[in-house]
Amino acid sequence: MSLHQFSETYRRLTGHRPLPWQETLYERLIRERDDFPTNVSVPTGLGKTSIIAIWLIGLACRPTSIPRRLVYVVNRRTVVDQTTTEVEKLRTNLETSGLMEPLRRLCALPETERIPLAISTLRGQFADNREWSADPARPAVIIGTVDMIGSRLLFSGYGVGFKGRPLHAGFLGQDVLLIHDEAHLEPAFQELMQAIQREQERCREFRPFRVIALTATTRNGGNHETRFGLTDLEKHPPARIPDPPEEPLHVVWRRLKAPKKIIFHNLESEKEQLPGRILDLCLDNRFVESGRAILIFVRSVENAEKTVARLRKEKQNVQQLTGTMRGFERDRLPMDSVFARFMPTGDYSQEVRLKTGTVYLVCTSAGEVGVNLSADHLICDLTTLTVWPSDLAV
């Protein structure tokens, strides 16, 4: 498949034209020699999750060299659900993109040929639908948390029977491309995955196990030959960028050079003043009557709950996202009208803003990493600076 054909297939599959780094990554994955990068480092907001679509196109073109299964590992349950939704959209577009027949030819069982891409979600609140393990030859995307994927690779899967553990370990450890999203947050797990890959390479296993660390925040320099990132052209935007953007490269430039404004607010006592100060900022006339989406991050569940309670007392449209929420509550969040305003696919029209008014989403670190949230304004207490008096940023 030529680069032009890839670009058109990618557009039909995802609904977007590929960015330059995505085209370059595709070219690298389908080379004759085994040239998978071990680290893909791309800034936030530039489509790192698209590596799933790139793998899918590569598999259809070169099934003998591209792993049959893609395992996508994240450390937040909310991100698992969001990624599952994105992959389901890709599966819906298989026919349109021309990938249906090439993938069907890879399946071994007649019953799996009708839908030749399996999607399975492995996390605490979701039962395994077993799509990924019913047909070993069927292309599959398995999405799960660190504990659910890691335990299965170590022959001790949570909720998996004694006889099923070797099967799960084999399916996840053979003919697999494992993508570890936000790998800098789980260095121990990343080292374990790399150790498994090295051991399988030493033993010359039948089918390869490949690991890619996917992150916008690298911890070390790594091997230059195995790292991958933005192209040189993407890294150096010109002084003037076309507005509106005329091609995907312009989108990258605009996002890299987007203006970002921050205002600091000093507090004498964080414990006593933080929730109240956040409330004052939220109820500022510039916000409360704007019909905009205001995202709030705080470090503790206590402050999150206080902020939510005070906003509700003022009859504001508010929702929260914390790690202490029950699975049932988290699963219902995407259906919530307030939370929907913070989704990348949300409706940001003036009509919707006027109808729903200003909306607030209060989060702890449960919403910090990997979840795609969009907002007009951000209010947060600083987590990476140790200063006194405490600071509040808007």
Helix axes 187-203, 146-153, angle to 10 degrees: 30
More confident residue, 256 or 219: 256
Higher pLDDT, 160 or 34: 160
Domain finish residue from 207, 228, 249: 228
Distance between alpha carbon 222 and the CA centroid of its chain, in Å? 22
Question: In terms of domains, do 55 and 200 share one?
Answer: yes
pLDDT band at 386 (very low <50, low <70, confident <90, very high): very low
pLDDT in tens, 204-218: 888 889 999 998 876
pLDDT of residue 94: 93
Distance, in Å, from the CA atom of 381 to the CA atom of 302, rounded to the nearest integer, reads 14
Q: Which amino acid is at 180?
A: H
Pair (87, 200) in one structural domain: yes
Q: Tell me what pLDDT residue 4 has.
A: 87
Answer yes or no: do 14 and 130 share one domain. Answer: yes
Same domain, 58 and 166: yes
Residue 38 has pLDDT above 60, yes or no: yes
Q: What's 184's domain CATH number?
A: 3.40.50.300
Mean pLDDT of 298-311: 88
β-sheet with 317-321: strand ranges across: 264-266, 391-393, 377-381, 293-297, 359-363, 317-321
pLDDT digits (tens, 9 = 90+) for 340-353: 888 766 555 666 66
Domain shared by 212 and 271, yes or no? no
The residue range of the domain holding 178 is 3-228
**pLDDT at position 218:** 61
**Domain count along the chain:** 2
**Residue 234 belongs to a domain:** no
> Over the chain, what is the mean pLDDT?
82
Q: Looking at the structure, do residues 174 and 278 belong to the same domain, yes or no?
A: no
Contact assessment for residue 69 and residue 175, using Cβ atoms and an 8 Å cutoff: yes
- 293 located within any domain: yes
Kindly state whether residue 251 falls inside one of the protein's structural domains.
Answer: no
* The token pair that represents 221 in the structure block: 């320099």
Q: Looking at the structure, do residues 288 and 158 belong to the same domain, yes or no?
A: no
Structure confidence by residue, pLDDT tens digits, 92-135: 999 999 999 999 999 988 888 788 999 988 865 445 677 888 88
Residue 302 counted as domain residue: yes
Same domain, 77 and 210: yes
Asked if 273 and 222 sit in the same domain, the reply is no
Instruction: Please determine, for residue 330, whether its predicted confidence score (pLDDT) is greater than 60.
Output: yes
CATH code for position 376: 3.40.50
Structure confidence by residue, pLDDT tens digits, 274-299:
888 888 888 887 777 788 889 998 88
- CB neighbour class for 140 (10 Å; exposed up to 12, middle 13-18, buried from 19): buried
Q: According to the model, what pLDDT value does residue 387 have? A: 43
pTM of the model: 0.79
pLDDT(333) > 80: no
Q: Is residue 376 part of a domain?
A: yes
